[in-house]
Structure 1
């Protein structure tokens, strides 16, 4: 179970900040408009935010982000969140939590992106830079990131169940073909850094252009094909081809990326069946 009933509200965040970081106790706390699911996010004054895991499964990511983001950030071509402080469990809140600087920008919806092909090229440039960072000692796929960067076979049973549940609602034959191709495209490369959840909600835009990449909770070192899912969830046509070419993704990597996109779509849709 990912969920655990924990009330995370402005009052709790204010108490945690006041007791553990008294230098910030007078700063206003208010919810971020799009505060996320894995973590609850609150403004702290005008220039910071507080990020609290919403369940035990996500709490494993806090230490990882504090350890690795300060090392990754200077080597990347776009801003990423670098934590300022780590909070301890207290006041009936059971997990570690973080204080980050606030990064300006809006989430990357299509209407906010000036040029989708240019956006695709810029995102690919960021991912290539991430993949070229020394992976030594980096976190291998595991429970901390729900095995992103690992073999797709981890989700084989779940995916097949979702396809069966959607029989009559989607082209199950086509979905099965994509999934089988992804499973067959075994990864044999050296492990590299990946983000793990490259989606429009974790990409920020300013003045129509990609301006920052946030939420590295599912990041790690392994197979980077999970970062290609956005080729099907945001890009199409020219922008998709530009993204693939800039990443120099071979057929096998592309097939696995398609598999990651399919898995996410299937479990999302199947989860909303009445």
Structure 2
């Protein structure tokens, strides 16, 4: 969907006249589901780029007000529910602006403190028990459901030699994850998309977590993504220790993170540099960890 400043201005003016005179600025984003515009100094407009993003908008409207008071950092606050208009066919939302900046792998101000903050957020998500029937998270189901797509992505990457992926090592990590015992308890609440682009930091600390469109219940290992997509090795251990992650969950979490990177890299390498860069970072982080069934993996 082609969404420009003029369309956003018309949508806002029609639905929320009190904000009609505020300036509109499109924000750069590595996201693939929504267009994001800043509205004045204090607001943000988020609009699905395709029909598949509509469920994310509606999920946030329903669940963010219930999750927000139970979490240790700021999360998006929906201030206005936009509806289809002006030729735009889907719901959209206006949120309060959250300060902070997106962290970049390899350039963290205080990775140990950030690791502790991330662990506190993940632990709080696991413990929430809001009223109502929770949705199933977009990710967090049985790891085996990702097997075919992960192996297919590895096959594609074999034909892209300039990406220089150690296919045998990646396959060893993936098969190790598949062989790990499954969760030994009920599903827990997950953010389910803890990519760097969905985090905001300030002064080295976690300031906010955004984009809850994938949130719901599932395997707790799904929210271990930051261990490999953002944190360096020392902070990774702080994150793991703070959450008390056992070996089986760590292996599943590493496999999930690897799978996501393998699938993302060939898909985004030409059109989405930030997503491709993070996928390469994950592959380096995962494939240099010193354990797959006790063996050196690279």
Question: TM-score scaled by structure 1?
Answer: 0.91
Mapped partners of 2:240, 2:103: distance in 1: 19
Which secondary structure does the structure 2 equivalent of 1:103 belong to? coil
Q: 1:134 to 1:100 in 2, by over 3 A?
A: same
Counterpart mapping for 1:153-172 below 5 A: 153-167=144-158, 169-172=164-167
Aligned-pair CA distance for 1:18: 0.7
Mapped partners of 1:273, 1:90: distance in 2: 34
User: Paired residue for 2:253, among 250, 257, 260?
Assistant: 257
What is residue 173 of structure 2 aligned with on the other side?
A: 178
Aligned-pair CA distance for 1:184: 2.4
Mapped partners of 2:86, 2:59: distance in 1: 23
What is residue 152 of structure 1 aligned with on the other side?
A: 143
User: Paired residue for 1:218, among 203, 214, 217?
Assistant: 214
Mapped partners of 2:35, 2:11: distance in 1: 14
Aligned-pair CA distance for 1:213: 0.8
Matched, 1:192 2:188: yes
Q: 1:272 to 1:106 in 2, by over 3 A?
A: closer
Mapped partners of 1:192, 1:63: distance in 2: 21
Mapped partners of 1:61, 1:110: distance in 2: 26
- Does structure 1 retain, via aligned residues, the 8 Å contact 2:227–2:236? yes
What is residue 138 of structure 1 aligned with on the other side?
A: 134
- Does structure 1 retain, via aligned residues, the 8 Å contact 2:36–2:45? yes
What is residue 120 of structure 2 aligned with on the other side?
A: 125
Mapped partners of 2:268, 2:117: distance in 1: 33
Structure 2 gaps, min length 5: 271-298
Deviation string 1:167-202 (CA, Å, 9 cap, x unpaired) is: 364222221121112222223421111111111111
- Does structure 2 retain, via aligned residues, the 8 Å contact 1:35–1:41? no
Mapped partners of 1:75, 1:165: distance in 2: 42
Counterpart mapping for 1:11-160 below 5 A: 11-34=6-29, 36-110=31-105, 113-134=108-129, 137-141=133-137, 145=138, 148-160=139-151
- Does structure 1 retain, via aligned residues, the 8 Å contact 2:106–2:232? no
Mapped partners of 2:94, 2:30: distance in 1: 14
Structure 1 gaps, min length 5: 1-5
- Does structure 2 retain, via aligned residues, the 8 Å contact 1:112–1:205? no
Deviation string 1:84-105 (CA, Å, 9 cap, x unpaired) is: 1111112221111100000011
- Does structure 2 retain, via aligned residues, the 8 Å contact 1:112–1:208? no
Q: 1:105 to 1:12 in 2, by over 3 A?
A: same
Mapped partners of 1:266, 1:180: distance in 2: 14
